Amino acid sequence: MKTKVIFFLAMIFAMSLNVFAQNVTPKFGIELNGGASFATSKLAGAELKTGIGFEGTFHYNFIPELGIYAGWGWNKNKSDLSFAGSDCDFEETGYVFGLQYNRPFGESAVNWYVRAGGLYNHIEVENKEGDIIADTGHGMGWQLAGGLQVGLGKNWSLTPGVKFNSLSRDVDFEGINHEMNLNYLSVRVGILKKF
């Protein structure tokens, strides 16, 4: 009886080693990206110059092709003249979350991806001295994105892509309500680590 138990336990141990030795696709990832942003419309009557932004996201794949992402982002655009005066900055910060679908190009180390998600962001208006003179408070918006994941080895990837953010918020400035519809297209390059 004792020999059968030892043999049984040895067989389970050997099979478990085989299971752990299999090549498993990583389910988690952390991505950092940044790049230029281009406003697609005026913001409360103000022309926005080319801006810059950064985003950090955490990924989890339910299956190899489909997963969720969530993170935090920052984007800054400057305007020479706006309702808040001259040389103002408009900074959008907050949270991003959504679904991500990715597929490989054949057997290559390159995947393409698309994302659709929501934003929970706010817009701060800063004067030329860098002081915050207005804040919209957080609210919902949306994001669409797409790009490539170019494998660099050892679960590292380069992630060039584009994204479109849309956020509509109101702000009260000197007793006047201004509707701010911030819509911009970003060209981003990032790095992704899967684990």
Question: Which CATH number belongs to the domain containing residue 165 in this structure?
Answer: 2.40.160.20
Q: Is residue 147 part of a domain?
A: yes
Other Cβ atoms within 10 Å of 66 Cβ, number? 12
Q: Is residue 63 part of a domain?
A: yes
**pTM score over 0.75:** yes
**What is the total count of domains within the chain?**
1
Q: What is the 3-state secondary structure (H, E, C) of the chain?
A: CHHHHHHHHHHHHHHHHHHHHCCCCCCEEEEEEEEEEEECCCECCECCCCEEEEEEEEEEEEECCEEEEEEEEEEEEEEEEECCEEEEEEEEEEEEEEEEEEEECCCCCEEEEEEEEEEEEEEEEECCCCCEEEECCCEEEEEEEEEEEEEEECCEEECCEEEEEEEEEEEEECCEEEEEEEEEEEEEEEEEEEC
Q: Is residue 101 part of a domain?
A: yes
Q: Which residues pair with 13 in a beta bridge?
A: none
- The string of pLDDT tens digits covering residues 83-122 is 999 999 999 999 999 999 999 988 889 999 999 999 999 9
72 exposure class (CB count in 10 Å sphere: 0-12, 13-18, 19+): middle
pLDDT beyond 70 at 12: no
Query: In the predicted model, what is the mean pLDDT of residues 150-163?
Result: 96
Query: How many whole angstroms separate alpha carbon 150 and alpha carbon 144?
Result: 20
Host domain of residue 169 = 27-194
Q: Is residue 9 part of a domain?
A: no
Whose tokens are 């981003």? That residue is 188
pLDDT beyond 90 at 2: no
Q: Is residue 8 part of a domain?
A: no
Q: Is residue 6 part of a domain?
A: no
Query: In the predicted model, what is the mean pLDDT of residues 47-52?
Result: 98
Which token pair is 83? 């309702």
Whose tokens are 């984007």? That residue is 75
Question: How far is the CA of 3 from the CAs of 11, 13, 14, 28, in angstroms?
Answer: 12, 15, 16, 42
When pLDDT is cut at 50, 70 and 90, the band that residue 33 belongs to is very high
Percent of the chain with pLDDT over 90: 85
Is residue 34 within 8 A of residue 64, CB to CB? The reply is no
Which token pair is 22? 């299999």
Q: Is residue 94 part of a domain?
A: yes
Q: How far is CA 105 from the centre of its chain?
A: 22
Q: Is residue 11 part of a domain?
A: no
